Structures are given as structure tokens and as C-alpha cells.
Amino acid sequence: MAGKPEFITPEMTILEVLHRHRQTEAVFRRYEQDAKGCLLCQALFATLAEAAAKYGLDLDRLVGDLEDCVAGPTDQAG
Amino acid sequence: MDNSGKNHELDCRGLVCPHPVLRTKEIVELGGVQRLTVLVDNEAAKENVSRFLERSGFVVRVDFRGGDLAVTGTREEIEAGQEPEAWEEAELRKILVLVGTDRLGTGDDDLGRKLMASFLGTLKEMGRELWCLVLLNAGVKLATAGSPVLGEIQQLADSGVMVLVCGTCLNHFQLLEHKQVGDTTNMLDIVTHMQMADLVIPLT
């Protein structure tokens, strides 16, 4: 994946992000410790903003981590 | 296993979320799918696959199959060999009721709340045409703990009506964790459903 990553916005649902960038699953799994719950089970249809509000996550950091993941060299889509 | 153009069966046993939903989405996006059965073995996958199929315009049924769960989505389209019944389905409108308040009318708030309770209790009379109930602004309070109409809304949801609850609004009222019924949703989802509906009835 060359160039600037596709923009990830707080209004995107977790499902949208995962569908476009499968490699982001690892990021969401990482945040489950902070969320104290399974984001991918319980918040799949929530927007990033809603999930952050509900589970007390740092939204900016989450979006940033997702963008880093998408832009990163280890693009393991699929 | 039937995976012809219109009918599909997907075995997602052993998969954890989000994979059953992602695989279901891939099949649905092939287009032309009228019936899709997804076999899952955990509650979260059942809930999420059901929710995804409902949002994609399928009528969803869940059956026990052995120790597993079979989530079957059927699109309300005319299928070969089922013309009479299907025709009836095709004639049904999709009605979306948008409730942007927790009381009906102006003048007396107590009366307004009673009227809203009566309205939601009567809404089922729309029958199968009632497709979606959207709750936003103070309307989200109706779906939270302590709401006098929780039972009525749960009954609608149980009968197959899609209940969408505005997440921004829940957050505004600090009620995110008190929602008891319906799917928390966003404005894009609400707008999409308004576009898909044949008739939108707004109560604000």
C-alpha cells in the first residue's frame, strides 16, 4: 500500500474499518484490554466515536493507531 | 449445501467476531442473494450476523441446528415458484417511523407522555408494513431503563421491527449504558434507512 493511508474518521463504524482494512483487527483486539470487553463482539456496528465514548477509549489515539496500522509496512489484508 | 446464485449457506462455526459478519457481508455483496443461512456456534456471532442481515434488508430467523445456530436471512423478493405469497410481500411497503421526542404534541407534558405510550402500544397495528422505528433526541429515552414503554418497544423488536437508537443522542443524555432495546446507530445509518423506506413518518 503506497502513499497516504485512506482516511479513517470517527464516524466510520468498526465494521466499515475492518471491512476495508482487515489488518486493523489487531488494533481493535489491543484496545479490548482498555475497553474491558470485546469491541469486535459488542460494538461492531458502532462508530469509532460511539465505541470510544461507551468504552472510555481515547478516540484520537484509536483513530491514529488505526491509520498507522493501515499505513504500516505490515499490510496483511485478508 | 446450496450455493446457487440466490441461495447460499455459510459455515462460520469456529469463527469469532468479526469474521462471521465479514464473510456474510462478502456473500451479500455478491448481489442477487435472496436467501442466506449462516451457521454459527456462539451468541455474539448470532447477534451480529442477524443484525447485519436485518440492516441489509433481510428478514431474519434463527433456528437451533444440533448444538449450533442457523441464522437465515430471506429477502422480501419474488422467488420462482412462490409468486402468490411473494407478490403479497412485494406489495408491502416499508414504513419507517422516526420518533424525535419522548412525548406527543404540545400543551401538557404528562398528557404527551401518555399519548406517546399509547402511540407506541398501537404502532403494531401497522402490521408487517412497520419496518423500522428510529429513536433520536429525547426519543432515545423511550428505549432506556425506566421507560414506561420499554415493553412496547421490545415487543416491536421481537416481532421483527428494526429499532434504531441514535448513539449521539444516547451519549448526549449520558444514557449509552442504560439502553435496553434496539441497536445503537449513527446518522449515516438513519439516513440510509430513511432512503430505503417507502414511507417515513416523522414525529418530532
Decide if A54 is inside a domain: yes
Decide if A74 is inside a domain: no
Mutate to test the interface with A, among B15, B43, B184, B187 (most CBs of A within 10 A): B184
Decide if A7 is inside a domain: no
Closest CA to B133 of B166, B171, B91: B166
A18 and B18: CB-CB below 8 Å? yes
A38 and B52: CB-CB below 8 Å? no
CB-based contact, A32 to chain B, within 8 Å: no
Decide if A8 is inside a domain: no
Segment B94-102 shows an average pLDDT of: 94
pLDDT band at B85 (very low <50, low <70, confident <90, very high): very low
- Residue of chain B nearest A10, judged by CA positions: B186
The number of distinct structural domains making up chain A is 1
SS3 sequence of A14-50: HHHHHHHCHHHHHHHHHHHHHHCCCHHHHCCCCEHHH
Residue range A32-55, pLDDT digits in tens: 888 888 899 999 998 899 899 888
- Residue of chain B nearest A49, judged by CA positions: B168
Main-chain phi, psi angles of B98, to 5 degrees: -105, 115
- Cβ-based neighbour number of residue B198 at 10 Å: 11
A45 and B183: CB-CB below 8 Å? yes
Segment B160-169 shows an average pLDDT of: 91
What ipTM does this complex have? 0.82
Q: Which pLDDT does position B10 carry in this prediction? A: 94
Decide if A29 is inside a domain: yes
Alpha-carbon distance A41 to nearest alpha carbon in chain B (angstroms):
5
End-to-end CA distance of chain A: 14
Decide if A77 is inside a domain: no
Distance CA B71, CA B38 (A): 5
- Residue of chain B nearest A53, judged by CA positions: B171
Residue range B35-50, pLDDT digits in tens: 999 999 998 999 999 9
Distance CA B68, CA B11 (A): 10
Cell triple for B92: 408491502
pLDDT band at B88 (very low <50, low <70, confident <90, very high): very low
Choose the closest CB to A54 out of B51, B176, B186.
B176
